[in-house]
Structure 1
Amino acid sequence: MHLQDKRVLITGGSSGIGLATAHQLVAKGARVCITGRRQEPLDRAVEALRAIGGDVFGVVADVGTHEGRGTTLVGAAAFGGLDILVNNAGGVRAGRLEDTTEAEIRAMVEVDLLAPILLTRMAMPLLRASGDGVIVNVASGIALIGMPFYATYAAAKAGLARFGESLRREFSGEGVHVMTVYPGATETPMMSTNRAGPELGFVRESADDVAISLVQGLESRALEVVRGGDARMAMVRINQETPAVLDERFQALKPALAEAVRDHSAL
């Protein structure tokens, strides 16, 4: 796929993977609309993207609400249409399920699963009109391998992954492609309250590295982009074939992991 002049909407685009992806797409000549819930970070992001020559604007909106999704699409349509939708906005609250409030559970399901589904549904007329539309769903490595203390987040991100897979097959031959991205632990504001390191399974990488892979996936029309290399894929195979092996590994890590992630919250 050639990205020059493609019209792109990125939710959660004022920081992290979303902003890094916007930088990569601008460098390819795409026209980009980014969304975020807060005005000041969004303004800074737009200014930085325009400073490198980007045809960019921002929309302040919460895609977790019906009104916010409507505002988002009105803003994105200012380019005269939409070719690529990147469902990137997300939220997390780690911890034991019984210690997670109902409000926190609902917030994760709303922003990580329901919002992408409903925004995609609303965007379909624009994506179909493109004739070469693409939907990118940013899931998580935790959607492939469920980790303790991330039960709701894992459920929502796994749901997003299967949503994308089903939708890809639904749209096959109809001019709309769907790609799912599985980042690992990434250095973003969302991870700032997570103290877990490589010894606990959180090998961090930069948002730029994830964004580069995402854009390469767009260009090659990949079905999936899985970060983490051979080590991640080996764990996925173990999780499929002998999951009890990972159960034992996580059991040994539980006390240290529980302490390291107990304050991990970005909602």
Structure 2
Amino acid sequence: MDIEGKRVLITGGTSGIGLATARALAARGARLVVTGRRRNAVDEAVASLRLAGAEASGVSADVSTEEGRTATLLGATRSLGGLDILINNAGAVRAGRLTDMREDEIRTMVEVDLVAPILLTRAALPALKDGAGGMVVNVTSAIALIAMPFYATYAAVKAGLSSFSESLRRELNGEGVRVLTVYPSGTDTPMMATNRAGPDVGFSLEPAEHVADAIVAGIASDAIEVIRGGPERQALIDLNRKDPLAVDARFLSIKSAFEEGVKSHSAL
């Protein structure tokens, strides 16, 4: 896909992977709308994009609500005059033992990470099909490929989004809309700020800009997936498919330290 002039909506586009992707797309000539729940964060993100020469605007809305999704899509299509690329990037996470999770925390992850992208994609498809060629980009997580302990709900919703992407890709095959699924590994973003786990338990963080560059390369090449983490991550993914009990044993060996490091991880 030629990114020049493409009309792009990025949810959760005010920081982290979303904002880095907006900057990378702007450098390739895309026209942007970024969204977020906080008006001041949206305004700051848009100002920084415009300062760098991007054509950008913003919508302050909560995509986990029907009203927020309607406002998001209406604001984007009015501002851009249509839509070519939808990037479902907004996310929420809470780690810890399932028995320690409040119901509202579980429901927030389900609504933000799974229900919102499904319903926003459904609403956006007519606009995406109306152009010369559209794309849906779903930002999931490497946890969808290797489910880590103490992230049971987050792993479930990210795996659900991954399967949604795969199914939708096949549903839309030949109809002018492509689907790209992105699996970031640990990324240095505000969403990870409360995670105290380190490299000793597998939480090495890469810059958001590296993930963004990979997403943009995936869009440009019409890829179907982007998996971050390098050869070590791929080896663990392969091992999880071939011998999941070996991965169980690996997590068991670091279980106490892992739990201690991630129990404070919350970004809802």
* TM-score where L is the length of structure 2: 0.99
Matches within 5 A, 1:185-196: 185-196=186-197
CA distance in 2, matches of 1:17, 1:80: 25
Q: Do residues 38 (structure 1) and 45 (structure 2) align? A: no
* 3-state SS, counterpart of residue 130 of structure 1: coil
Q: Give the aligned residue type for 2:158.
A: K
Q: Could you list the per-position Cα deviations for residues 180-221 of structure 1 after superposition, in whole angstroms to 9, with x for gaps in the alignment?
A: 000001111100000111111111101000000000000000
Q: Could you list the per-position Cα deviations for residues 11-65 of structure 1 after superposition, in whole angstroms to 9, with x for gaps in the alignment?
A: 0000000000000010000000000000111111100000011110000000000
* 3-state SS, counterpart of residue 58 of structure 2: strand
> In 2, are the aligned partners of 1:12 and 1:90 still within 8 Å (CA)?
yes
> In 2, are the aligned partners of 1:26 and 1:55 still within 8 Å (CA)?
yes
Q: Give the aligned residue type for 1:104.
A: E
> In 2, are the aligned partners of 1:184 and 1:227 still within 8 Å (CA)?
yes
Unaligned 5+ runs, structure 2: none
CA distance in 1, matches of 2:74, 2:242: 46
CA distance in 1, matches of 2:224, 2:185: 17
1:53 maps to 53
1:154 maps to 155
> In 2, are the aligned partners of 1:131 and 1:176 still within 8 Å (CA)?
no
Q: Give the aligned residue type for 2:39.
A: Q
1:121, distance to aligned residue in structure 2 (A): 0.3
* Alignment: residue pair count: 267
Matches within 5 A, 1:119-134: 119-134=120-135
Q: Could you list the per-position Cα deviations for residues 92-144 of structure 1 after superposition, in whole angstroms to 9, with x for gaps in the alignment?
A: 00000010111100000000000000000000110010130000000000000
CA distance in 2, matches of 1:198, 1:216: 27
Matches within 5 A, 1:17-28: 17-28=17-28
Unaligned 5+ runs, structure 1: none
1:85 maps to 86
2:211 maps to 210
1:99 maps to 100
CA distance in 1, matches of 2:157, 2:194: 20
CA distance in 2, matches of 1:44, 1:133: 28
1:245 maps to 246
Q: Do residues 262 (structure 1) and 263 (structure 2) align? A: yes
Q: Do residues 168 (structure 1) and 203 (structure 2) align? A: no
1:259, distance to aligned residue in structure 2 (A): 0.8
* 3-state SS, counterpart of residue 264 of structure 2: coil
Q: What is the root-mean-square deviation of aligned Cα atoms in Å? A: 0.5
Q: Give the aligned residue type for 2:130.
A: A
Q: Give the aligned residue type for 1:11.
A: T
Q: Could you list the per-position Cα deviations for residues 153-206 of structure 1 after superposition, in whole angstroms to 9, with x for gaps in the alignment?
A: 000000000100000000000000000000001111100000111111111101
* TM-score where L is the length of structure 1: 0.99
CA distance in 2, matches of 1:146, 1:46: 35
Matches within 5 A, 1:59-74: 59-74=59-74
